[in-house]
A and B are shown apart, each in its own frame.
Chain A
Amino acid sequence: MTMKVERYTFDAVIVGAGGAGLRAALTLAEAGLRTAVLTKVFPTRSHTVAAQGGVAASLGNSTPDHWHWHMYDTVKGSDWLGDQDAIEFMCRKANEVVIELEHFGMPFDRTDDGRIYQRPFGGHSMNYGEAPVMRSCAAADRTGHAMLHTLYQRNVRAKTQFFVEWMALDLIRNSEGDVLGVTALEMESGNVAIFHGRATIFATGGAGRIYASSTNAFINTGDGLGMAARAGIPLEDMEFWQFHPTGVAGAGVLITEGVRGEGGVLRNCHGERFMERYAPNLKDLASRDVVARAMVTEINEGRGCGPNKDYVWLDLTHLPPETILKRLPGIREIALQFAGVDPIQAPIPVVPTVHYQMGGIPTNYRAQVVVPKGEDLEVPVAGFYAAGECACASVHGANRLGTNSLLDLLVFGKTAGEEVVKEVRSGTLPLKPLPKDAADQSLARLARLEQATSGERVPEVLRDLQQTMQKHAGVFRFAKLLKEGVEKILAIEERVQRTFIEDRSRVWNTARIEALELENMIEVAKATMISAEARRESRGAHVRDDCPDTPEFPNGRNDRDWLKHTLWYREGNRLRYKPVHLQPLSPETEPIAPAKRTY
């Protein structure tokens, strides 16, 4: 393909316009830096828009709260795989970033005395696990929508420059490994351009679409992870995928944990509130991995509901209708639309559904991308930052708490912006010359698709990929299935290299976009399956049949051998490991010592 490649130069190039990208952009634009935000969809269509239940902050508006309690809950929720310095940083910054959003105009619900309304949420507790705490700051059950629109609106005010409906293709690095920007494809014209920047910030979101049943949007194809992996950056802790307990059975659409925060309960076919058996203290508000496993256990043991006994009920019928209409109006709409039930009158059929990727591009608490170099396992990649779901800071470890993702993207989006502003101003982020071949890899990928006259159909390869992930890396994992899963995914990878599309247009060729997305998804799938097969313990969302609960290894967790982060490299599917940061950021902060996780 011969093609003129336009070149644009900016101080900062942000890829993605969800919460993390918009929060970073705001800091950069307000500081007067020349900033480009590339996004596959109009900013308010990014998947942050679908977040429902709230954003965590220990404001203490309705119950006593403290950031160290939040830190404890997050570390425990992570099954001790989270880095305690990053977690302390996030929990301490929570009030600031949430209050700031309110100042930007976010329409939070209110308490009677005019403060931000907060509701209980899974795994969040008072006084180190004693009782549920009201920590989730909410705008009805549309918190993500309210947040994303508010951040977009604030960026309009700051005159941020957007490149809408541009898909980033590849990361550009020089021979030293410094990151210099990205190549990107404009969907409307089919043109390819280089976005050359002093700093590149990835805020590309997750890749939940690698699973057949997912709460995620079509756009969540792990583009940032694919780009990073192809450019030689390892991916961290990719074996950890969160199954949200309550996706609508069949449809996969999310029903917020806020439903249980407002008093909803899960029931099996006998009408039993079964979470009382699995988590006597927090019950339905235990951590998501714990609740998802309890649900699957109920279904596997024949206590599922419906004609095929393949889901459980989420029951809200005992709640006052006003609570549902006022606090959960969006959920009622979703239940009516996708389950055909009115939750005021009847329970909603739900099953655990893939929701969130705990792993991602390795970063530190300053949102710098860090990779091993020689003896040092965490050396910043010059010019490269990541924030939000695509990054692994790691604040979620082996299992994320609900409402910590919106917090993560605010804290680390803002931090990425602040770090870049600081470095540009101090002159430590020079604009480095582009290598001659900066666009070659992208042009070659496009040329392959352009020239292929036969091959594998993209939707068929994608379906096999999704079904393989679903079957071989699910809520419960089996050594034998994981091993087979690795072989299957590697076979699918071969097919991804042979895809073929009929559409040859330049203008809005969405078949081509889907083929390019598949090339990113396969990287995420490989990273997940290979990292999962190798981790021989049960921890958080990763629970294996051959690593059961024993006195030596409570819950199957093996801190002796596996209290460490996985790093997967695309080249040779190589794995290496790095220690978890068990020390908090401040010397005076009490570390949270590993313990058996019960709720």
Chain B
Amino acid sequence: MKRVKHFRIYRFNPEQDERPYLKDYVVELAEGEQKLLQALVRIKEQDDSLAFRRSCREGVCGSDAMNINGKNGLACLTDVDSLSEPIVLRPLPGLPVVRDLIVDMTPFFHQYLSIMPYLINEEPPPERERPQSPAEREVLDGLYECILCGCCSTSCPSFWWNPDKFVGPAGLLAAYRFIADSRDQATNERLDRLNDPYRLFRCHTIMNCVAVCPKQLNPTAAIGRIKELMVARLA
């Protein structure tokens, strides 16, 4: 069914605008167009100056994270008919806006890179695969599927206050993904690097991250397990 949708979208072009503003758009959507990203593509056909990131349009590349009616999410996985109008779109909060819905993700990736996001195992690799039991592998479910969209960290008040010092939910989820991997040998070093008043312990289990994760992951639980390991190590 064709229907008309009203939007209010955050606009800012650093070459022209002194300050950001909200711009109204009206768009008619065809029957098959059910996702917010499809509506954005239609709006861009009206106004080619609207800038946003997008790629896979199926929720696996993590490009089109934005703030949708006040809540972070992926445009490609959001049903446009589920949103109250006008649909207000803003860039992810807590990161510098470059233009329109495009933020500078550098602080987010900086934290991801800080947790040594790679398997560490210094033993010479065997000729075949390193064995891992199905149970050991199952531990990684809910950890490795992160798409680095940034919805979680940019909805976290602790990350807003200290994006330079607090690793944030996405980075900590990745940290635990390697700690939990039976093949990884750097648990102690990983914990050492998180043992600081800010990097791990700024998580106050507000759980916004869990509420917004478009992949239904649970960074708060992962952070809790890291804290448990940290405590167990003291005993």
Contacts and interface: CB of A to CB of B under 8 A. Distances in A.
A514 B125 CA distance: 45
Contacts of B147: 44, 49, 145
Interface in A148-164: 149, 153-154, 156-157
A505 B49 contact: yes
B62 interface: yes
Contact of A114 (B77, B102, B105, B133): B133
B134 A110 contact: yes
Contact of B131 (A46, A114, A330, A509): A114
Given A45-B56, A502-B48, A507 B99 contact: yes
Interface in B173-187: 178, 181, 183-184
A105 B137 contact: no
Interface stretch (B112-120, B190-198, B221-229): B112-120
Contacts of A561: none
Given A45-B62, A107-B144, A508-B98, A153 B15 contact: no
A405 to B, nearest CB: 16
Nearest to A251: B32
B55 A103 contact: no
Contacts of A154: 118
Interface residues of A, number: 60
Contacts of B45: 457, 459
A166 interface: no
B145 A145 contact: yes
Nearest to A146: B144
A149 B118 CA distance: 9
A107 B59 contact: no
A333 B102 CA distance: 27
Interface residues of B, number: 56
A419 to B, nearest CB: 23
A510 B48 CA distance: 8
Contacts of B116: 157
A112 B118 contact: no
A505 B15 contact: yes
Contacts of B15: 505-507
Interface in B142-173: 144-145, 147-148
- Chain B interface mostly: loop
B183 A105 contact: yes
B230 interface: no
Contacts of A145: 60, 145, 147
A251 B57 CA distance: 10
A577 interface: no
Given A47-B55, A507-B13, A105 B133 contact: no
B201 interface: no
A151 to B, nearest CB: 10
A396 to B, nearest CB: 22
Given A108-B129, A507-B98, A44 B148 contact: yes
B51 interface: yes
Interface in A112-156: 112-116, 139, 142, 145-146, 149, 153-154, 156
B98 A45 contact: no
Contacts of B134: 109-112, 114
Contact of B63 (A41, A116, A156, A254): A41
A530 interface: no
A423 interface: no
A253 B58 CA distance: 7
Contacts of A508: 51, 98-100, 102
A259 interface: no
A444 interface: no
A33 interface: no
Given A45-B63, A145-B147, A218-B55, A110 B49 contact: no
A164 to B, nearest CB: 9
Nearest to B129: A102
Nearest to A158: B118
A269 interface: no
Interface of B: 13-16, 32, 44-45, 47-49, 51-63, 77, 98-100, 102, 105, 109, 113, 116-119, 121, 125, 127-134, 136-137, 140, 144-145, 147-148, 178, 181, 183-184
29 contacts: A41-B55, A42-B105, A42-B148, A45-B56, A45-B62, A46-B61, A104-B118, A105-B118, A105-B181, A107-B137, A107-B144, A108-B129, A114-B131, A114-B134, A115-B128, A145-B147, A153-B117, A156-B113, A157-B116, A217-B56, A253-B58, A330-B60, A458-B48, A505-B13, A507-B15, A508-B99, A510-B51, A511-B44, A511-B49
